[in-house]
């Protein structure tokens, strides 16, 4: 894949994550408003969707921003592991 196509994919992934984070903030904010309007002061139940969805959002962030792109050196290193002469054929 050419560098422009890779850059386009990374930019699209960043935009998808930003959209995901915005939707998360809006929905969790609405849940907190609902909680506040219905039974403010009692058990804070919006914490559960916020935590669970927050974990998913964190994983999404890691896949977009935390992982470095695969380089040709990474591919060459992996190929050299697959073709070591000291390993029997077939695994």
Mean pLDDT per 10-residue segment, the chain (91 residues): 86 97 98 89 91 98 88 86 64 51
Q: pLDDT at position 1, please?
A: 67
- What is the per-residue pLDDT for 15? 98
Per-residue confidence (pLDDT) for residue 87, from 0 to 100: 60
Cβ count near 85 (within 10 Å): 4
Return the domain boundaries, the chain. 3-82
Integer Cα distance of 10 and 6 in angstroms: 6
Per-residue model confidence (pLDDT) at position 85: 60
């Amino acid at each position: 894949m050419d560098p422009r196509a890779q850059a386009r994919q990374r930019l699209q992934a960043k935009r998808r994550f930003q959209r995901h984070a915005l939707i998360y903030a809006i929905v969790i904010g609405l849940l907190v408003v609902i909680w506040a309007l219905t039974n403010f002061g009692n058990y804070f139940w919006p914490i559960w969707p916020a935590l669970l969805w927050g974990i998913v959002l964190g994983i999404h962030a890691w896949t977009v921003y935390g992982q470095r792109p695969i380089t040709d050196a990474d591919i060459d290193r992996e190929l050299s592991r697959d073709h070591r002469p000291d390993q029997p054929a077939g695994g």
